Structure 1
């Protein structure tokens, strides 16, 4: 989602049959153009998704998907995996834990602590 050199490095890091999903440029810098011939060498895929496009599709695809998601959560078939809880004052430590890639699940910031 960052775009720029992060996307360029992600494309270069793809393993054989790897897939990169491109869905934004939060850094406001576009990545380098991808030479499609380079994807063939390792059978890699780069795909894109833009949420405003989904809103324009016929059949209320977005609403249908959200209803299914909420139904799965309500039934217990889909559940959140908590990976840790931090006081809001420890938000920096939570971000450092995420950056270290040593977490599993969602990290929670508790504003009451």
Structure 2
């Protein structure tokens, strides 16, 4: 596969469909994963996805809850940002669904703050 474009079918995933190697992720893979999830990605979707990747990769594998997502992203968001807006983008849960599309391991954290 060296030098070739990887597709979702080429990538190793766990039983829940999460990528086993987050380094194999790119935006094209994110689009393919979002289609499996039945959602369309927007610029705001990618803001959250890139935030989650940055937190995981550069902040000791941190996987923030929805409250911390809103707190961190509100200044860079068009309009008012609340947890509701995150669920509009990722109806199955911003932490789990956006994390999956971001190529991150499945979060083991339970809901709540």
> Structures share a fold, TM > 0.5?
no
Higher helix proportion: 2
Q: Which has the larger radius of gyration?
A: 1
- Report which structure shows greater RCO (CA 8 Å, sep ≥6): 2
TM-score by length of 1: 0.20
